[in-house]
Amino acid sequence: MPQTTRITPFQQRVYAACRRIPRGRVSTYRWLGEAVGCKSARAIGQALKRNPFAPEVPCHRVVRSDRSLGGFSGQTSGGEVRRKREMLRAEGVRFGPNDRVEESALIRLAGPQ
């Protein structure tokens, strides 16, 4: 019997906000949290880790506040994080020193829409 993924109202808000990050830009876990009324960047990361709608919900476009990549698909290093970097590069996101996303790529989302 197939298992149905249950999406919580919180996850729905996170995914809706994440969809607003345009190609070639990134936001931070903190700013995404602010956009959905959540003060926990960790809770945002947990919701994105469970994202069943990728790439329509582009969770690869969310990075840490210091512009480092953070995690991807539940991993904080290795192949999945390399894949996140390559997905962002393919969208035109550039990286500076210490493999940080260039500041010009950052976008701060407005509150819920």
Q: What is the set of active-site residues?
A: 59
Sign of CA dihedral 95, 22, 4, 112: positive
**Best CA proximity match to 19, nearest among 50, 71, 49, 61:** 61
Handedness of CA 16, 56, 87, 8 (dihedral sign): positive
Task: Could you list the beta-strand ranges (E) of 5-101.
Answer: 27-28, 62-63
Query: What is the three-class DSSP state of 62?
Result: strand
Which of 7, 18, 8, 39 minimizes the C-alpha distance to 113? Answer: 18
